[in-house]
Structure 1
């Protein structure tokens, strides 16, 4: 079984990758996408989204981090794929699943699922540009509006030379509304021979097992579920108990200190609120705290609120001893 941490734009940055891989259970991380249009990007762009390139392409816990590219021009994607690998990325991931309207309007992400031939040309160009020892993976949804091209797209990606295919088991139109259609991944598995990773609507170990059964694959990718339950990968892999709320509070403090120091607070407010929007799905305590946090804009106010919450829980725990 391989468990991969999903590339969630705007929340799974290098600090979140560091924290979640320290908890354990993950075999691979994928970065937020690097947008490629019509040029070979400078090294600083790759290093900004993937600082792990400076450390062998791995998180401090030793988990490989693969750079993800998003674009529509085979030549420029190939050029940038070669650059990313040269800089230290252990392979390349291609984004054909992003449902964001702004991305799709500029012919990137999931909209390419309407163009099977273009998928083939992109993957082929990237595969030819990247040394054979480095994997080239692709992530798709089941389609844009419907599933009419699902199997053709998967076959084209395989024929073009992809090493692995990750499938988010919903169309772009479905968005993130449950359910995820895991049996469709099983149909893809019957069509192609390369490994397939199942993604979508995995929040618990039980759902992971059901997904693996219906998708006919042991390999899974965790996104929102890993943000809602930070040790979900370990729960799935080894039966570890769900992390307690006081333990999550400690993680929140650690992340906050790193994020504010690392990015000088530029993205901290938005990212911590994003994370809380998932934590509240698993922890009732997060729901109450989120109601206070969501109206705050200053980093010092958010940090003070979290420090107060951690102190309150610590004192409460001591009083019960």
Structure 2
């Protein structure tokens, strides 16, 4: 594994917010972050919406560690998405990412996310409109899955995104129906790569440096995107890229303490306890100590209580 390898942090809705992005990019190893999706329906959103989900726009479109953060949009209306994409770039987003991968039922019911993978023409129309609205110097990227119910349109969808002007495609190597159930079909990304010329990024089921190597080999992609793996092992990007040792539980506890009593971008040291508990749920995969800590703080309702518990030896 080479240090030149490009690693992006996945846009996990409700999980990887600006606080988590700040935390993980300080730990190191990431080259790019993508925001949680901003849902676009039928209007040009006010700047405050973009600033709320991407406060890094106040700091040059980068985390405090200097990692670029790209705004992701989700919706079905090409014109409206184009208007909002232009606004996001004007506010400082280094390019635009479009969400064609979200498997959530509520999102798919409103014709957003992965359900659009059933409509190749819609993918083309959306990306084409956004590409026309965004300055040519700024990338327009897309995140997709291999399909909705099956993989029959995987290659056609990627070709449509490329033809519409996408600069890069990140592919979560499962269909919507397959959800997050292992395995990830990295070899399908290699099949798609035979048909498109733009760069592809492999995503899905990368939990370790060994997984990253295997993913690269099977997908034929140099670049990868980490999601749940980075939440389970906070320095996974550094483990992959720099051959670092896995972070100790004591180091993780320090991160949790900082995360619980965070002060960044005006958050004033307050953070949602349910997010802390949610993160512990991911950490359980890598650290047995996370299970006991979760049981200890499960009933706590304030960040102050949780910080106090975390500071105990």
Tell me the CA shift for residue 304 of structure 1. Answer: 2.1
- Asked if 2 retains the 8 angstrom alpha-carbon contact of 1:186 and 1:216, the reply is yes
Whole-angstrom distance in 2 between the partners of 1:292 and 1:42? 41
Mapped pair 1:97 → 2:113: no
Whole-angstrom distance in 2 between the partners of 1:144 and 1:269? 34
Tell me the CA shift for residue 262 of structure 1. Answer: 4.7
Cα deviations across residues 151-194 of structure 1 (Å, max 9, x unaligned)? 10000000000000000000100111111010001111111000
Tell me the CA shift for residue 301 of structure 1. Answer: 2.4
Tell me the CA shift for residue 273 of structure 1. Answer: 1.2
Matches within 5 A, 1:203-242: 203-242=207-246
- Asked if 1 retains the 8 angstrom alpha-carbon contact of 2:262 and 2:270, the reply is no
- Which residue in the other structure is 2:248 paired with? 244
Whole-angstrom distance in 2 between the partners of 1:259 and 1:277? 23
Mapped pair 1:292 → 2:296: yes
Whole-angstrom distance in 2 between the partners of 1:82 and 1:94? 13
Mapped pair 1:281 → 2:281: no
Out of 34, 43, 53, the residue aligned to residue 38 of structure 2 is 34
Q: Secondary structure at the match of 1:167?
A: strand
The answer to which structure has the higher helix fraction is: 1
Q: CA separation of 1:133/1:17 partners in 2, compared to 1, >3 Å: closer, same or farther?
A: same
- Which residue in the other structure is 2:306 paired with? 302
- Which residue in the other structure is 2:260 paired with? 256
Tell me the CA shift for residue 266 of structure 1. Answer: 7.4
- Asked if 2 retains the 8 angstrom alpha-carbon contact of 1:3 and 1:25, the reply is yes
Tell me the CA shift for residue 291 of structure 1. Answer: 1.9
Whole-angstrom distance in 2 between the partners of 1:267 and 1:175? 29
- Which residue in the other structure is 1:158 paired with? 162
- TM-score, structure 1 length as denominator? 0.94
- Which residue in the other structure is 2:28 paired with? 24
- Which residue in the other structure is 2:130 paired with? 126
Mapped pair 1:173 → 2:177: yes
- TM-score, structure 2 length as denominator? 0.96
Tell me the CA shift for residue 265 of structure 1. Answer: 7.7
Q: Secondary structure at the match of 1:169?
A: strand
Out of 181, 200, 206, the residue aligned to residue 196 of structure 1 is 200
Q: CA separation of 1:265/1:297 partners in 2, compared to 1, >3 Å: closer, same or farther?
A: farther
- Asked if 2 retains the 8 angstrom alpha-carbon contact of 1:15 and 1:259, the reply is no
Q: Secondary structure at the match of 2:71?
A: strand
- Asked if 1 retains the 8 angstrom alpha-carbon contact of 2:19 and 2:264, the reply is no
Whole-angstrom distance in 1 between the partners of 2:270 and 2:150? 38
Tell me the CA shift for residue 295 of structure 1. Answer: 2.8
Q: Which runs of 5+ in 1 are unaligned?
A: 313-321
Whole-angstrom distance in 2 between the partners of 1:40 and 1:265? 32
